[in-house]
Chains A and B, each alone.
Chain A
Amino acid sequence: MKLSFDWLSDFVDLSGLSASELADKLTMGAFEVEEIECVGPDIEGPVLVGEILDIQSHPDADKIRLTKIRLSEGAEPQEIVCGAWNIEVGHKIPVALPGAKVINRKDGSPLPIKQSKIRGVVSNGMLCSAPELGLSGSGEGIMILDPSAKIGLDAKDLLGIRNDYVLHVEPRSNRGDALSVLGMAREVAALFARPLKKQLWLEEFDAFEESELEAIQVSIENLEDCPYFTARLLSNIKIGASIPQISRRLEAVGIKCINNLVDISNYVRHELGQPLHTYDLAQLKGNILAVRRARQDESILTLDQKERKLNEEALVIADAESVVGVAGVMGGKLSEVSDSTTEIALEAAAFASARVRRSSRLLGLSSDSSLRFERGVDAAQVHQSSNLAAYLAVKHYAAKLGKISKAGSDQVKEIKVQLRMSELKRICEIEMSTDSAAEILAPLGFGRVKGSAGENAVEFLIPSFRQKDVYREIDLVEEVCRLYGYDKIPVSMPASTVAAQNPKRLPARIRRSLSGSGLNEAWLSSLSSYDDLDAKQSFEHNRDTTIGVMNPLSAEHQVLRQSLLPGLIKAAAYNADHGNSKAWLFEIGKIYRKDSKRFNKQIPAHKQTSTHEELMVSAIAASEPSLSQWSDKNSPDLEARSYFLIKGIFENLAASLDIPVQQLRYLKNDEIPGWFHPGRSAACYLDSTEAESAPDKNGNKGKNKNAKKAVLLGFIGEIHPAVADTYGLSSKAAIMELSMTALEQSSSEKLFKDIYTTPSLQRDLTADLDNAISHQDVLEAIRSCNEATLQRVELVSIFQLSESSKSLSYRMTFQDPAQTLKTEAIDAQMQKFRETLSARLGAKFRL
């Protein structure tokens, strides 16, 4: 809300206050002032009324003349050079003296006045034209003042030239009452403890006589939609420009001037907070204005030239034949006041805020008026607002006052609230007498209920305009507290009463591991486009689980994501496009899905959503990794190093979370999402022996009878080439998506195992195998021997023997905690491994 300092001073005495003092106090009193704007002509210093005593031509110039000006009785006249020709001896004119600042007529820039020499003649000031004083009017020639103007007077006062300061006040959603000059005046009066001024127009208006024009009939269908409705007739209307006093103020607060009638409506709305509407009486049928709901088939052409369909949700004003306005929102085009209008009906009403809101939403139309009504208007103020508008029309534009018709009631229910001093102390630590509290609240309109003031409590009558936000004791506590000053309340710390729970450490541990592996943490939007829901961008996603937004901002933000991967892939592509192809990123973030099974009958329906949010840990490594130690130049696995890279990152992560890496299983199965290359990706399980799907040619793979249920941790692998193409990612990126819940379940307690002091022995084993046999097959075959002293099996190298066979070399470490191992025993064990491998996997051994 824009608040004019000048306008405000109509209501409260601001003498001795600067605009910035006012702004500071308002800011600390609940109304933040965002900006102070200086408006009006930038005229300063001595600009006095002078009289021309003499005019002589300039000795050296044809176009300018020398004048002698008297500025006070009995003083020496001043010599001033002037270029205008409309002046005569005896004229009273405004004179800017050295030190004054006026406006450059040519470009509007500030023009400081100094004593100067013009063509050899000294000039002690300047005779001013209207534009030079920031006034409209004929630009040519000096401004000739009224002959009765007293010389030596300040011409700025005489001409009503003054600066105004406009405060940009942040509106408060709960304080509709403060969206007016009057409302702000109450605040200012309370903050500075100055009384509100009496409004002089009221008495003058009471003396006006109403004409004999027949009153218009008004009615309200339902008092809940509109408790009070008035229409005042005004005749002898002449549409024209507003008087400067009104137009200057409106322009200062950013309201465009249209014509004298519209300007009056805007003026009253800004001053008192009451929106008004004017109808051209000649266009109304049947001399009737009825407040009612629209009928299903009705429509209206609104002022903005749009035909709008209505229904029973909308509240309208209708004459005998049709709808002439949407109540509180916008009037109809047909009854709009025009240049030929001579009689008007002036509407002032208290429409229910919720109803105006509905109408406004229904039509997708909001206006200054509807926004104002939505915040709630004061029914008790309606009549006075109508009177002020009528007063201005009669006083300034010679309109004739007609009768006012009323429907409903402007009586507001009485609300009394008690304030205990003990409550003020309990919440805000303010100790105060009931008298002081009453004194603080009085300027805001809170009256003390007679006879209610005891020592410990006082009862207040809540004014009509504050009943929306003040109706409980705590509301009064807040009012007293903010006027008392928040900063005066003593500061302390709450006593310690509860110990804080330890925060979850897992996310931080994950961040530490992944960042240690060289990945940067990303934060991605959880709102995505439908295209990003599945890897094929094929809209094949399951509608049963997706959560779309009803009112999306854009196609990019219309559905909640179901994977973090598309966002990471996009981020990698973005970085590649910006010259950084080595984007290594991870995110810990949520995915979302609908899940009707989550509905719990024990919980009220309004407290549950039947949706599921799951925290995921995902990563992308979009660059060429370095070779692993065991990798052989002949191995086809060289091509697939993205997979092994992300697997290494995953295993580092698992180890850092105390997940037993030895028990991880990598399987190819149908659960692997489409983001992954089907041949270069794995589902990662912990303790899995049941979910086997690797080919079993020999059919002699025994299942572990003690198998625990496998926990799916997530997926790792290379990005699917088609996905990379879709997102414009040129490099072979490695990606990973893991479930935080599964990681949490799999993370084991730290438990120290004693360090063996007996020596360990190492043996190497190289097996020639069919290409179809995996490293994991070998490990499982070795483990099936159940050799207790085998501590570690490491893959040392892979060598491709032919197109169909390869050679795998392992280093095995043996150690017995109890005794020194015998060479013979280990050799026997190695023989057992070789036999098992050849029996189960057809391994051959070269010596």
Chain B
Amino acid sequence: MSLLELQNKLMAIKEAGLGAIGQAASSDELESARVKFLGQKSDLKSIMGTLSSFSPDQKKTVGQLSNSVRQDLEAALKERQASIYKIELAKRLESEKIDISLPGLGRPQGKIHPLTQITEEIISIFHGMGFSVVEGPEIETDYYNFDALNTPADHPARDSQDTFYTEVDAHVLLRSQTSTIQIRAMEKMTPPLRIIAPGRVYRNEEVNARKYPLFHQIEGLLIEKNVTFGQLRGTLMEFYRLLFGRELKTRFRPDFFPFTEPSAELDCQCPFCMGSGCRTCGQRGWLELLGCGMVDPNVLNAVGIDSQEWSGFAFGMGVERVAMLKYGISDIRHFYTNDLRFLEQF
């Protein structure tokens, strides 16, 4: 083939190749165009394969020309590829539309029990105020449950009506309050100390919407130098602000507990009616939230802490009660029935 013929042929290949690439409507057609004009068996390849039979001058001319044809074809191919990809992608996206309202797959996440959630929340608030978590046994001796808590043998709180005694021994009972942990902590630790003690307690009471024979308390104890009743008020008011996430009025009402003096009940403005009176608060506008007070000197002295040098405050709250208030639950039995229709709401 003459040089001229060859040049013409290359131009024809270019012409035909550009035409085929330009007309390719899908990636398959484009691929067959690529194979035809740029593949191993293409005319262009075979022309480039015959270069060795030309003189060096001709070789240069043909080589440059065939290279430029190849480059032109490759550039056109790339361009066409991009536009076909765009078209095909649009088609695919259009065809892959689904009903996005169909339900999700997989097993739903299990829920954490509301009492766990509220306990963790309460602990976390006090943890931020420097209180450490301690725990104690549920099976207790009457010493820790009563004697050490300034509740002598003939106190009405010791009636077997209220406390479950066990067959293990006459002095072994199921603790009726987490205050036992206060004593155990004070025996082991030296002041200054700040502890928060969650736990299960037992009372021999008929089951109804408000009462269950076991429930949970969180007890707090702080013993330091120069601790005052005003600091107790400040600590608990801050706690309730953080727990309910807003300012609720509180009031400290004098009360009696054998192991604190002075003692108080902390009432909180009913978060449901904001104090105007509703069913939840029994039209009072106030909800009883926790019992608290300054640790009685008898209790401190009994565990070997000098009550003239140290003073402290203690408080205890019912976890179920707080959860019932916070979530608006009216029947304590829900917590222990473990009905999924209840659990799944938390």
Q: Is the CB of B229 within 8 A of A481?
A: yes
Q: Is the CB of B253 within 8 A of A478?
A: no
Can you list, as one digit per residue, whether each of B144-166 has a CB less than 8 Å from chain A (1) or not (0)?
A: 10010000001111001000111
Can you list, as one digit per residue, whether each of A505-527 has a CB less than 8 Å from chain B (1) or not (0)?
A: 00010010011111111111111
A374 cross-chain contacts in B, Cβ below 8 A: 156
Taking CB atoms and an 8 Å cut-off, the chain B residues in 295-324 that contact chain A are 296-297, 311
| With contact pairs A517-B110, A523-B338, A547-B168 given, residues A486 and B253 touching in the complex (Cβ less than 8 Å) | yes
Give which listed residue, A472, A490, A514, contacts B297 with CB less than 8 A: A472
Q: What separation, in Å, do the CA atoms of A524 and B212 have in the docked complex?
A: 12
Taking CB atoms and an 8 Å cut-off, the chain B residues in 313-346 that contact chain A are 335-341, 343-344
Can you list, as one digit per residue, whether each of A540-580 has a CB less than 8 Å from chain B (1) or not (0)?
A: 00000001111111000100100000000001001100101
Taking CB atoms and an 8 Å cut-off, the chain B residues in 225-267 that contact chain A are 226-231, 233-235, 237-238, 251-256, 258, 261-265
Say which one of A306-314, A319-327, A495-503 lies at the interface with B: A495-503
A525 cross-chain contacts in B, Cβ below 8 A: 213-214, 336
Q: Is the CB of A609 within 8 A of B337?
A: no
Residue A504 is within 8 A (CB to CB) of chain B in the complex = yes
Residue B81 is within 8 A (CB to CB) of chain A in the complex = no
| With contact pairs A492-B228, A493-B231, A498-B130 given, residues A518 and B110 touching in the complex (Cβ less than 8 Å) | yes
Give which listed residue, B141, B144, B154, B157, contacts A357 with CB less than 8 A: B154
Give which listed residue, A173, A357, A428, contacts B228 with CB less than 8 A: A428
Residue A780 is within 8 A (CB to CB) of chain B in the complex = no
Residue A403 is within 8 A (CB to CB) of chain B in the complex = no
| With contact pairs A492-B231, A493-B235 given, residues A474 and B297 touching in the complex (Cβ less than 8 Å) | yes
| With contact pairs A518-B107, A578-B341, A606-B143 given, residues A551 and B127 touching in the complex (Cβ less than 8 Å) | no
| With contact pairs A475-B261, A498-B192, A522-B113 given, residues A553 and B139 touching in the complex (Cβ less than 8 Å) | no
| With contact pairs A28-B253, A28-B254 given, residues A500 and B115 touching in the complex (Cβ less than 8 Å) | no
Q: Is the CB of B256 within 8 A of A173?
A: yes
| With contact pairs A474-B297, A511-B116, A522-B343 given, residues A549 and B168 touching in the complex (Cβ less than 8 Å) | no
Q: Is the CB of B112 within 8 A of A515?
A: yes
Q: What separation, in Å, do the CA atoms of A592 and B337 have in the docked complex?
A: 21
Can you list, as one digit per residue, whether each of B109-137 has a CB less than 8 Å from chain A (1) or not (0)?
A: 11111011000100100010011110001
Taking CB atoms and an 8 Å cut-off, the chain B residues in 23-62 that contact chain A are none
Residue B172 is within 8 A (CB to CB) of chain A in the complex = yes
B169 cross-chain contacts in A, Cβ below 8 A: 609-610
Closest to A172 in B: B256
Closest to A495 in B: B224
A353 cross-chain contacts in B, Cβ below 8 A: 154
Taking CB atoms and an 8 Å cut-off, the chain A residues in 15-52 that contact chain B are 27-30, 32
Closest to B187 in A: A607
Q: Is the CB of A550 within 8 A of B164?
A: yes
Q: Is the CB of A491 within 8 A of B255?
A: no
Can you list, as one digit per residue, whether each of A604-638 has a CB less than 8 Å from chain B (1) or not (0)?
A: 00111111010000000000000000000000000
B171 cross-chain contacts in A, Cβ below 8 A: 606
Nearest Cβ on chain B to A327's Cβ, whole angstroms: 16
Give which listed residue, B155, B261, B336, contacts A474 with CB less than 8 A: B261
Q: Is the CB of B141 within 8 A of A491?
A: no
Give which listed residue, A486, A490, A526, A585, contacts B214 with CB less than 8 A: A526
Residue A833 is within 8 A (CB to CB) of chain B in the complex = no
A608 cross-chain contacts in B, Cβ below 8 A: 141
Nearest Cβ on chain A to B110's Cβ, whole angstroms: 4
Q: What separation, in Å, do the CA atoms of A421 and B258 have in the docked complex?
A: 24
Nearest Cβ on chain A to B125's Cβ, whole angstroms: 11
Q: What separation, in Å, do the CA atoms of A156 and B174 have in the docked complex?
A: 58
Give which listed residue, A173, A487, A491, contacts B251 with CB less than 8 A: A487
Q: Is the CB of A500 within 8 A of B127?
A: yes
Taking CB atoms and an 8 Å cut-off, the chain B residues in 151-208 that contact chain A are 154-157, 160, 164-169, 171-172, 174, 192-194, 200, 202, 204-207
Residue B294 is within 8 A (CB to CB) of chain A in the complex = yes
A503 cross-chain contacts in B, Cβ below 8 A: 123, 127, 132-133
Nearest Cβ on chain B to A725's Cβ, whole angstroms: 21
Q: What separation, in Å, do the CA atoms of A496 and B234 have in the docked complex?
A: 13
B144 cross-chain contacts in A, Cβ below 8 A: 607
B194 cross-chain contacts in A, Cβ below 8 A: 497-498, 500
A511 cross-chain contacts in B, Cβ below 8 A: 112, 116
Residue B222 is within 8 A (CB to CB) of chain A in the complex = yes
Nearest Cβ on chain B to A371's Cβ, whole angstroms: 9
Give which listed residue, B123, B206, B261, contacts A553 with CB less than 8 A: B206
Give which listed residue, A521, A580, A585, contacts B341 with CB less than 8 A: A580
| With contact pairs A501-B133, A590-B138 given, residues A482 and B254 touching in the complex (Cβ less than 8 Å) | yes
Residue B140 is within 8 A (CB to CB) of chain A in the complex = yes
Give which listed residue, A173, A491, A527, A548, contacts B213 with CB less than 8 A: A527
Q: Is the CB of B228 within 8 A of A547?
A: no
Closest to B164 in A: A549
Q: Is the CB of A547 within 8 A of B127?
A: no
Q: What separation, in Å, do the CA atoms of A723 and B204 have in the docked complex?
A: 30
Taking CB atoms and an 8 Å cut-off, the chain A residues in 199-222 that contact chain B are none
Q: Is the CB of B262 within 8 A of A481?
A: yes
Q: What separation, in Å, do the CA atoms of A476 and B235 have in the docked complex?
A: 24
B154 cross-chain contacts in A, Cβ below 8 A: 353-354, 357
Residue A427 is within 8 A (CB to CB) of chain B in the complex = yes
Residue A680 is within 8 A (CB to CB) of chain B in the complex = no
Nearest Cβ on chain A to B22's Cβ, whole angstroms: 44
Residue A584 is within 8 A (CB to CB) of chain B in the complex = yes
Instruction: Select the residue from A354, A429, A493 with max chain B CB neighbours within 10 A.
Output: A493
Q: Is the CB of B222 within 8 A of A486?
A: no
Closest to B108 in A: A518
Q: Is the CB of B339 within 8 A of A575?
A: yes
Ordered by A's residue number, 6 sampled pairs between the chains whose C-beta atoms are within 8 Å are A478-B262, A481-B229, A486-B254, A489-B228, A592-B139, A613-B139
The 3 tightest CB contacts between A and B, nearest first, are A30-B254, A515-B110, A518-B107
| Beyond A486-B254, A527-B214, A550-B164, 18 extra complex contacts between A and B, CB < 8 Å | A28-B251, A30-B256, A174-B258, A354-B154, A427-B228, A477-B262, A486-B253, A500-B127, A501-B132, A514-B110, A520-B111, A520-B113, A521-B111, A547-B166, A549-B174, A550-B167, A592-B138, A611-B168
